[in-house]
Amino acid sequence: MNGNDRTTGSTARPAAWLAENFRIKPAAIPVGHSIRSGLSVGLPFVIGALTDHVLTGMWIALATLLLAAGEREGTYRLNFWIIAVSTPIGASGYLLGFVADVPLAALIALMAALAFLAGLIAGFGPAFSVAGMQFLLVSAIAIGVPDIDWWTPLWLYFVGAAAYATLLAVEMLIDPRRPQRLVLLALLQSLEELAQARAADLADGGDRTTQARSAATTAYQNAAGRVSELPVWRMGSAGDWNLDGRVVNAAERVLAFLLAADDPGVLPRAQQQLSALAGSVRTGTPASNEPDRTDPLDGVLVDLRTALADSGGRGSTTEPLVNPAIGAEVVRAACRLGLCYAIAVGAKEYFPYSHWFWVPLTVCLVMKPDFGSVFSRAVLRVVGTTVGVALATLIIALVPKGAAIGIAIGLLSACVPWFMMRSYALQAVAIAPVVILLVDEISPGGDTANYSWQRIAATALGGAVVIVFGYLIWPHSRRAWVAQTFGEATTAIADQLRLASSAIPDDPAAAQRRHDDLVTARRRAYRALSDMQVRMSRAQSEPPPASTVALAWLPVAAAADRLADTVSAYAVARRSGAKAPDSEPGAELADQIETLGRGEPPTPVRLVAAPLDPIADQTRRLRSLLETTEVRPRRV
């Protein structure tokens, strides 16, 4: 079955996009995060119940639940920054409780403006994105629950943040390099798998390399992201592995070498040595073997070993954690969030039950600006919350009041980090009953089942608000947005080919500048291809036409991946002197690749010099797919 057949079959299946939404992703249990979440949420409630201060314990537990849900799989520095930024912003949401009794029209206008600002600051980085969601969640409770002295939960929010930060600090003291080690191991293992895939492809002519290279590129980008979060000082003693920019740059050179390798005997050795290197990082001991720099394989691997052993000293840099990037897409998302939150706040008038605040609460959970597909999250939120409400109702009916409820809350909270990684529906299954069990302490109801139905109805209504006013009335949100990224990728591939086919200057400084530009172009191409895969994955969870467009792009994206790999292999061969420069035909072929990305009428690829034949073949294949599949490269 070829790529076109696969695409046709996918679109023919009824509601394939819906099945994609409910796919459970594999993920390892984040042990530290899960223990921290369970203890920080369950323990305050248990202590409050045992000391007859259950409301105090509840307010602290609610704060730590939001912080646990906001923790990222990043460095300790990033997560401490998230706590520092999100705590005062999230806690200030309780101040809205003092204006909850203003005329409804004024309340709607105020909350619409605040929701817009919460969406806008998401462009400042993950800490502000988490802070905006926490603010809206807390605000929904503050304007929906009457007769509370909101100064008390406000200062208890800071107590919860201090408790959560303390638990995070304990883990940091026990294992200070854990976040860096995990991402570094993932990078080395992905390179090992790339070597294995490349060797298998050379043996039988298969195409495993593309997928393995995509995984290695993602791992490289994750490692580069961790580097930007790290402080400048060195952690550990001499001989320990560390992570900095030199390490990820050396790993990226290994990636390029593996893509260019055409000797079946080299790749098994590369796989073996990368496996040994991963093992040495895992145990914190340097590799024992002495590499031979005259061997091209050992040449690139010794650079990686040296970078690992010497990293973290002088010259290590860090990027700011606040990096404003408020573009048109962020503004549009903020507008949708403000509109939907305003309509949800209006539920105070049209929702005939006391738990109306679950409508805006649902909206802010679904529409968090960087959460991806709004439509799929609305569907999954309703389904997951329905299951979670049923679970909460069962717990309330069977578990005695007091400390036993706190234990149940802690167990459910411990599941939140893992469920978040696996599925948004599973996340809702864990978070919904915890929020219900906590909020029931300040807004109890005699008939638990009746209140559960209220919450299900409010969740369904909030999901409907999101689908209609945050999705359907915005045609922009239904586009797959793949074509724009495809154009960026082909432009970067073309730039890389122009540089790779040019003569290497005799002047060492000029040769180094050419090489640096070549590496930059390669990274830009792979980053764009990775972004394209992410956008297609998100679009596949949307209903048609977005999912149909994304599925049609799948064979094109795969062909673009193979073209990028072929150009990278040619560039490495040129640097090693294995191939002579082909400036004129290389530039002509690069122009044709760039033309494909612009959506202009493709021109036939003429015969070129032998070293460029593989690139020309991949360009012809890409041109053929653009002609025969239902994609429009110009559409953005």
Mean pLDDT of 394-403: 84
Q: Six-digit token pair at 555?
A: 């064979």
* pLDDT of 523 above 50: yes
611 DSSP 8-state letter: G
Rounded CA-CA distance 340/335 in Å is 9
pLDDT tier, 7 (very low <50, low <70, confident <90, very high otherwise): very low
Most confident residue range from 115-119, 314-318, 326-330, 453-457? 115-119
* 2 occurs within a structural domain: no
Q: Are residues 166 and 184 in the same domain?
A: no
- The predicted pLDDT at position 451 comes to 66
Q: Determine the pLDDT at residue 635.
A: 44
**CA angle, 338 then 342 then 346, to 5°:** 170
Q: Which two tokens stand for residue 235?
A: 């952690």
Mean pLDDT across the stretch 31-47? 93
Give the pLDDT of residue 545.
64
If one compares 468 and 28, the residue with the highest pLDDT of the two is: 468
Q: In terms of domains, do 371 and 344 share one?
A: yes
Is 369 a domain residue? yes
Question: Could you tell me if 552 and 632 are in contact, meaning their C-beta atoms sit under 8 angstroms apart?
Answer: no
Residues 195, 159: contact at Cβ < 8 Å?
Answer: no
Tell me the mean pLDDT in the region 596-616: 69
Burial label, 106 (beta-carbon count in 10 A; 0-12, 13-18, 19+): exposed
CB 385 within 8 A of CB 459: yes
- Note the pLDDT of residue 482: 72
d(CA 465, CA 363): 8
Average pLDDT on 592-613 reads 70
| Mean pLDDT, range 509-525, rounded to an integer | 83
Q: Is residue 10 a contact partner of residue 16, using CB atoms and an 8 Å limit?
A: yes
Which residue blocks in 468-545 are alpha helix, DSSP H?
483-501, 508-540
Average pLDDT on 550-578 reads: 77
Alpha carbon 613 to its chain centroid, in Å, reads 37
Question: What pLDDT score was predicted for residue 10?
Answer: 40
Is pLDDT of 539 > 80?
no
Last residue of a domain, one of 310, 338, 364: 310
pLDDT at 610: 65
Per-residue pLDDT at 17 exceeds 60: no
Asked if 184 and 170 sit in the same domain, the reply is no
pLDDT in tens, 89-145: 999 999 999 999 899 999 999 999 999 999 888 878 788 888 998 999 999 999 988
| pLDDT tens per residue across span 185-211 | 888 888 888 888 888 888 887 778 878
Do the beta carbons of residue 629 and residue 7 sit within 8 Å?
yes
Q: Read out DSSP for 377-392?
A: HHHHHHHHHHHHHHHH
CA distance 595 to 85: 45
More confident residue, 135 or 389: 135
Q: What is the pLDDT of residue 581?
A: 65
**Tokens at 551, concatenated:** 């599925």
| 351 domain-assigned | yes
pLDDT at 632: 57
Q: Could you give the angle at which helices 448-467 and 328-345 cross, rounded to 10 degrees?
A: 140
Say if residue 83 is in the same domain as residue 220: no
Q: Are residues 451 and 406 in the same domain?
A: yes
161-170, 476-485, 596-605, range with the lowest pLDDT:
476-485
Residue 16 has pLDDT above 60, yes or no: no
Q: How confident is the model at residue 340 (pLDDT cuts 50, 70, 90)?
A: very high
DSSP state, 230?
S
- Compute the average pLDDT of residues 201-223: 79
In a domain, 635, yes or no: no
Q: Angle 448-467/374-398 helices, nearest 10 degrees? A: 180
Average pLDDT over residues 467-474: 82
Confidence of residue 321 (pLDDT cuts 50, 70, 90): very low
Q: 344 with 362: CB under 8 angstroms?
A: yes
Does residue 490 carry a pLDDT above 60? yes
Rounded CA gap, 437 and 414, in Å? 15
Residues 150 and 256 in one domain: no
Same domain, 198 and 236: yes
What's the CA angle centered on 290, arms 289 and 294, to 5 degrees?
135
- In a domain, residue 263? The reply is yes
Instruction: Give the torsion sign (CA, 333, 98, 448, 59).
Output: positive
Residue 474 has pLDDT above 80, yes or no: no
Cα separations in angstroms, 45 against 132, 134, 139? 25, 20, 22
Q: Which of 559, 569, 578 is nearest to 617 (CA)?
A: 559
Residue with tokens 């943040």: 161
**Contact at 8 Å (CB) between 317 and 231?**
no
pLDDT at 462 over 80: yes
> Is there a domain that residue 322 lies in?
no
* pLDDT score, position 184: 82
Residue 4 lies in a domain: no
pLDDT-derived band at 507, boundaries 50, 70, 90: confident
Give 165's contacts (C-beta < 8 A, 6+ positions apart): 80, 83
Query: pLDDT confidence of 483, banded at 50, 70, 90?
Result: confident
| pLDDT (average), residues 513-530 | 82
Q: What pLDDT is stored for residue 185 in this prediction?
A: 84
Helix, strand and coil in the chain, % to nearest 5: 75, 0, 25
**pLDDT single digits (tens) 67-85:** 998 888 777 888 898 999 9
Handedness of CA 265, 270, 273, 275 (dihedral sign): negative
pLDDT band at 219 (very low <50, low <70, confident <90, very high): confident
402 with 491, same domain?
no
SS3 408: helix
Please give the Cα distance from 193 to 187 (Å, whole number). 10
Judge residue 155's burial from the number of C-beta atoms within 10 Å of its C-beta, 0-12 exposed, 13-18 middle, 19 or more buried. exposed
Q: What is the pLDDT of residue 390?
A: 82
Domain end, chosen from 446, 476, 506, is at 476
492 and 431 in a common domain = no
pLDDT band at residue 237 using 50, 70 and 90 as cut-offs:
very low
Tell me: do 429 and 336 sit in the same domain. yes
- Please report which confidence band the pLDDT of residue 447 belongs to, taking 50, 70 and 90 as the band edges: very low
Kindly state whether residue 11 falls inside one of the protein's structural domains: no
pLDDT band, very low/low/confident/very high, at 12 (cuts 50, 70, 90): very low
Amino acid identity, position 501: S
Q: Containing domain of residue 533, as a range?
A: 480-628
Q: How high does pLDDT run on average in the chain?
A: 78
> Of 476, 496, 516, which residue sits at a domain end?
476
Would you say residue 509 has pLDDT above 70?
A: yes
Same domain, 616 and 491: yes
Quote the percentage of the chain above a pLDDT of 70.
76
Q: Are residues 428 and 340 in the same domain?
A: yes
pLDDT confidence of residue 199: 84
Asked if 70 and 160 count as a contact pair (C-beta separation under 8 A), the reply is: no
pLDDT, residue 21, reads 61
Tally of domains within the chain: 3
